Each structure stands twice: as C-alpha cells, then as structure tokens.
Amino acid sequence: MARFASVRGSGGGRMHWKVEGPLGGAHEWETETLDQSGDGIGWRSLPGAAIRNEGQVRFRPAPAGRGTVVTLRVRFEPPGGALGAGLVHFFGATPLKLVAESVLRRFKNLVETGEIPTTARQPAARTDTH
C-alpha cells in the first residue's frame, strides 16, 4: 500500500498520475492545476483520463497554534462504468478513501518525525548474530 500511486510534474501546470490497480493493472492520466495558492493546490483530470477526477488539498493552522490541519477532497468516477460504481457501492467504501487515509497517516508521520514507521527489517552498521 505504500506505493499505490506516483505523481510527477509533466510541465505547464500538468501532472502525470499512475495508479496501480488490482491484479497488477495500472491506470495513467494527466491532470491540470486549477488553483495553487499558499495554502494548497487544486487539480482536475484532462479529457480522456483513465480515471476522471478532481480534488484539492489545503493546509491551515490548527486552533491554538497546535499544528496544521490538512484537508483532502477528491471526487472521482470509478473505472468500469456502472459495474465499477456498483462495486464501490457494494463494498461501502471507496478504495480511494481507504488509500487516502493510509497515505495521509504516512505523510503525517513523515512531517512530524522525519521518517515513516515500518515493521520491515532495518539495516544497521552491524552484522546479524544468527
């Protein structure tokens, strides 16, 4: 889940997105930046996108100077037409919601501690004693 998507600049206020789908498939598309201010950024997919979407992320000071509130809003049309929409409705939560929660949690950890916690083996400057 750590690398479900990649987003990179493609020039002229556009971004190239690649999202890994189930069973090893991938979807790619371009978006354009709509709003880029000091407190966040907004975007929307260009015509012909594999997954039509639009969204914004905003950062604002938390009350009483206790950090930053990050708000992510995304609207998308699931691939697969009516079948894809039916599956999303059946499962009761979009895959995007589940992934977004994980990604925002990872982002929070990175910003607050400078690292992302993991249970993966961490190499150190010592050899195994096993």
Distance CA 16, CA 14 (A): 7
The architecture CATH gives domain 5-113: 2-Layer Sandwich (3.30)
The per-residue pLDDT for range 90-113, each reduced to its tens digit, is 656 555 666 677 777 887 888 788
Distance CA 94, CA 53 (A): 13
For residue 129, give Cα distances in angstroms to 124, 126. 12, 9
The per-residue pLDDT for range 18-58, each reduced to its tens digit, is 877 666 678 788 999 998 888 898 999 999 887 888 989 89
pTM of the model: 0.64
Mode of pairing for the β-strands spanning 40-45 and 14-20? unpaired
For the chain, the structural domain boundaries read 5-113
